[in-house]
Amino acid sequence: MPAELTAARATDLEEEIDALARRPEFGKLLRSIRIGGGETIPAEVVRWLPALRAGGVVFGSDWSILPGQGRVDAWNRLEGRPLVLQAVASVLADFDSIQRAQRDYVHLLEERKDDLLDLYPIAGSYVCGEDPKGRPFASLSEQQLHDLPWPYANVPCELHVLERAEEGGRFVTETYSTSRDFYWLAGRDLYLPVDGGFLLVTSFGMDVRGVPDSRGDIADRMKSRLVSIQQDAERRARR
């Protein structure tokens, strides 16, 4: 279900970043710039590297989910605002360190204590194996409780996570929620390997029932998450 829900998405940012990541010199330039090197940046990549210099997050164009176009029925009946944001960040760490950074629930609760009241994996939800084409996958569900300012009630969210390999071996994480407090919530992370780490390209959107969340709220949530993953994964990789 999550793969179907998020597969019918705009791919402009993924395609642009993928093309850059495949350039042999891109990863070396990125790593050098992140540690303060002074290399000359080719014109065709100048848009991205300075923005990623200090571990920044770069946003691509927004897009809206439209009914039809081969989407599964859940999207055709979508309520609420169909806005999806795209962003990219660099993570100079191995894949295992990145995954551990996203599943260290004790650390995440401490780091996000201002807006996250609870977070834990749901017992019995973890499944792993291979798909019919022999590609690995793993899935689990998480229970979250988000703290909202008065006068809004706290928002529980059961988040379903699917990690899988796409054609060509690229890893993707798909997320979605069916919690009744959301009109909808879904996301996709694409891991593009570069020298010394990954470019993490994220698409994410949500609409909470009865809460006037703005585009800026969603962007802030995405940026906070990407910076957290980057900092924690790079710290783990240095151990």
Per-residue pLDDT reduced to its tens digit, 16-52: 677 666 666 666 666 655 544 444 444 445 455 555 6
* Residue 149's pLDDT band (cuts 50, 70, 90): low
How many CB atoms lie under 10 A from the CB of residue 129?
Answer: 9
Give the CA distances from residue 107 to residues 32, 85, 111, in Å, rounded to whole numbers and listed in that order.
29, 26, 6
* C-alpha Rg value of the chain to the nearest Å: 18
Better-scored residue on pLDDT, 192 or 22: 192
How many CB atoms lie under 10 A from the CB of residue 8?
Answer: 14
Give per-residue burial for 66-81: e unless 16+ CB within 10 Å, then b: eeeeebeeebeebeeb
| pLDDT beyond 50 at 5 | no
| CA dist., res. 188 & res. 203, Å (int) | 5
Beta bridge partner(s), residue 116: 146
Residue 181 and residue 153 in contact, taking contact as beta carbons nearer than 8 Å:
no
Which residue range is the domain that position 37 belongs to?
Answer: 2-237
Residue 109 and residue 146 in contact, taking contact as beta carbons nearer than 8 Å:
no
Better-scored residue on pLDDT, 11 or 146: 146
Strand 63-64 and strand 83-91: the pairing is antiparallel
Residue 157 and residue 144 in contact, taking contact as beta carbons nearer than 8 Å:
yes
Residues 6+ apart with CB under 8 A from 206: 177, 182, 184, 185, 186, 213, 218
Residue 206 and residue 22 in contact, taking contact as beta carbons nearer than 8 Å:
no
Number of domains the chain is built from: 1
Instruction: State the average pLDDT for the chain.
Output: 78
Query: The CATH number of the domain where 25 resides is what?
Result: 3.30.530.20
Amino acid identity for residue 64 in this structure: S
What distance lies between CA 71 and its chain's CA centroid? 21
